[in-house]
Structure 1
């Protein structure tokens, strides 16, 4: 056997393992289960951290204000130092649309050791607690639009299944060429890293989708949310881990009635979305970075290179094994493309998308070592250890 034959066979074996032994991550049937209405609807506080969100707020905020929820619910929008009139616009939208009561508040600049979003969430939770003791908190981003029955279904599922945390991966916008190429793969890769079926059972795997998280207040207090994760850049995964570690039951799945309305029309915007947290996901570890890049090349790039290269070189074995691995890869991607209502011919292009993600991940590490890692909306966050050291020195 030639070296290329061995590499191609290893890549195929990796795909067979991923297909059957990685929690069936490629399936898209993990959806919010229908539940009967509870005997009494619990109170809910909806906390929306918002920083310079005037572009998307006219679509997202009215969808929250007009929720058809039978119990008591209020919306607390935290204007996190916006410079585009986010807070004033929120009040105007509430006056126009009515619906659930809206409170707009501002937390001031986050202190050292806090990310801006989590500081805003903390302030929103405290403001809500001062108003009334909600039994559940819905933490949702300012770019997320909810269909009218979204909150009702989330609460019914949480109460009916006795869950401490219910999170839905919002359906991201897919309109432009770059969004079609990159966005479905983003969710596919996330599910590969955190298989939803593993998340939803007892065990160590924990994750959430930060755009839509319903959490029981008692569970948040038990897990010390958000103080326990105040430095987390990838705050949704950190939140789920904290809740699960404290004994809470969590659930994560794809959304039917929750959508992101934020546009990413250009490659540079999608690149920034991924690269700002990719190296943090690898715990700022150079060894993990090299292993991840090597794994991406082996799993995603080897199959098409082996298939085409084997055909050109007249090596039938390498060609066949490469095509087999490529076919398994493309087939596993089809359910996600169907979920995003995209054409199936995008499936064979997944190696190209993976190559882009490898470049984004490498760039994330480069930006980190240049002191510009985890930058978002004018703020740059150090790695947690550096932030802790800074706190001790202060």
Structure 2
């Protein structure tokens, strides 16, 4: 066989492995597990880190205030050095809409070595625990860590707690359904969920005793006892990929975790331009590779072999009348396309986007390379006016 044909065959073999041996990552059936209402609903503290979120809060905070939760729950919104009036707006929304009790605090700039979000979570969690001990004689049993751009359905907290209690889980996380409106969002956002599932197959995460651990930071229900045991967030205070780091810390501490797709938890943040999506991905992509040039080179080669080789070898095989290359490349592309269809259905997107996955993979490859370039330029992970020049990757042990 020709060299092109061999490349096509290797790519096809890789896709057969991904189809059958990577935890069925392409399926979208990992939703909240079995739920039964507990006899007594536990106390819950909802902690929301927010930095310059005045545009998002009118869409996300009222649904959170309106949670239909039978037990005692309160919200602590941590204004992380905002300059757009986030804290004042949160107080106004709380007074206007009522619902769950709302406290807004501002802890000041993070200490050296801390990322802003984890610094905010540290103060929010500490305040919620202290208030529980002072006012009710006991700390809240659960902490709901949710971002300021996440809109929860009225029964979201109730369902999360029921799932955690019924299945004795220390961490329950749902990957919020991201906004998909603009053309760039259609091309990039479903692929983001697809690639995340490929890196961290949900079935592997949810298997008892598994080594794979991950969470989606926009919606994490965490048992307070497990957080204390894992020393969260202090033990992961430098992590840029804080959700994966959190899940790993909880699992190392002996906790049970679960991760799945959300049905009624939505991100309201828009990413209308490619530049918006580029910054979202590139700010942490190289951290995911632990700032390793070797891992970067391997990732680029792997993406090229798995995602670019199928259409390229198909075209080369057709043009050069190389039947083996055309057949293997076309079949690999067909398998790739088929695995992407469930995610597109989950996002209610047209299925003709599936064959375009190689193009989207090129974009992610370039975003990853750009993330490395920014790192070596000393710009590191930049987010809302803060730059972490040499951020830590999610810790591996």
Could you tell me which residue of structure 2 aligns to residue 303 of structure 1?
A: 310
Could you tell me which residue of structure 1 aligns to residue 174 of structure 2?
A: 168
CA deviation digits over 1:85-133, x for unaligned, max 9?
0001001111111100000000100010100000000000111112111
Q: Secondary structure at the match of 1:76?
A: strand
Consecutive unaligned residues in structure 1, runs of 5 or more: 387-394
Offset of residue 383 of structure 1: 2.8
Residue 261 (1) aligns with residue 268 (2): yes
Offset of residue 225 of structure 1: 0.3
Question: CA contact under 8 A between 2:42 and 2:142: conserved in structure 1?
Answer: yes
Question: CA contact under 8 A between 2:25 and 2:203: conserved in structure 1?
Answer: yes
TM-score, normalised to structure 1, is 0.97
Could you tell me which residue of structure 2 aligns to residue 371 of structure 1?
A: 378
CA deviation digits over 1:152-198, x for unaligned, max 9?
00000000000000000000000000000000000000000000000
Could you tell me which residue of structure 1 aligns to residue 84 of structure 2?
A: 84
Question: CA contact under 8 A between 1:34 and 1:153: conserved in structure 2?
Answer: no
Question: RMSD over aligned Cα, in angstroms?
Answer: 0.9
Question: CA contact under 8 A between 1:80 and 1:116: conserved in structure 2?
Answer: yes
* C-alpha distance in structure 2 between counterparts of 1:251 and 1:336, whole Å: 19
* C-alpha distance in structure 2 between counterparts of 1:148 and 1:384, whole Å: 36
Question: CA contact under 8 A between 2:308 and 2:358: conserved in structure 1?
Answer: yes
* C-alpha distance in structure 2 between counterparts of 1:124 and 1:223, whole Å: 17
Could you tell me which residue of structure 1 aligns to residue 25 of structure 2?
A: 25
Question: CA contact under 8 A between 1:52 and 1:84: conserved in structure 2?
Answer: yes
In the alignment of these two chains, the number of paired residues is 386
* C-alpha distance in structure 2 between counterparts of 1:310 and 1:6, whole Å: 11
Q: Secondary structure at the match of 2:74?
A: strand
* C-alpha distance in structure 2 between counterparts of 1:21 and 1:134, whole Å: 40
Q: Secondary structure at the match of 2:275?
A: helix
Q: Secondary structure at the match of 1:35?
A: coil
Question: CA contact under 8 A between 1:166 and 1:214: conserved in structure 2?
Answer: yes
Question: CA contact under 8 A between 2:34 and 2:167: conserved in structure 1?
Answer: no
Question: CA contact under 8 A between 2:378 and 2:390: conserved in structure 1?
Answer: no
Residue 114 (1) aligns with residue 114 (2): yes
Residue 312 (1) aligns with residue 315 (2): no
Could you tell me which residue of structure 2 aligns to residue 36 of structure 1?
A: 36
Match of 2:157 among 137, 140, 151: 151
Question: CA contact under 8 A between 1:52 and 1:82: conserved in structure 2?
Answer: yes
CA deviation digits over 1:48-79, x for unaligned, max 9?
00000011110100011000000000000000
Offset of residue 382 of structure 1: 3.3
* C-alpha distance in structure 2 between counterparts of 1:257 and 1:162, whole Å: 22
* C-alpha distance in structure 2 between counterparts of 1:146 and 1:229, whole Å: 26
CA deviation digits over 1:27-65, x for unaligned, max 9?
000000241100100000000000000111101000110
Match of 2:355 among 336, 348, 361: 348
Residue 278 (1) aligns with residue 285 (2): yes
Question: CA contact under 8 A between 2:380 and 2:391: conserved in structure 1?
Answer: no
Superposition map of 1:1-394 within 5 A: 1-132=1-132, 133-201=139-207, 202-384=209-391
Could you tell me which residue of structure 2 aligns to residue 390 of structure 1?
A: none
Distance change in 2, residues 1:368/1:384 (3 Å):
closer
* C-alpha distance in structure 2 between counterparts of 1:311 and 1:372, whole Å: 45
Offset of residue 384 of structure 1: 5.0
Consecutive unaligned residues in structure 2, runs of 5 or more: 133-138
Question: CA contact under 8 A between 2:381 and 2:391: conserved in structure 1?
Answer: no
Question: CA contact under 8 A between 1:178 and 1:265: conserved in structure 2?
Answer: yes
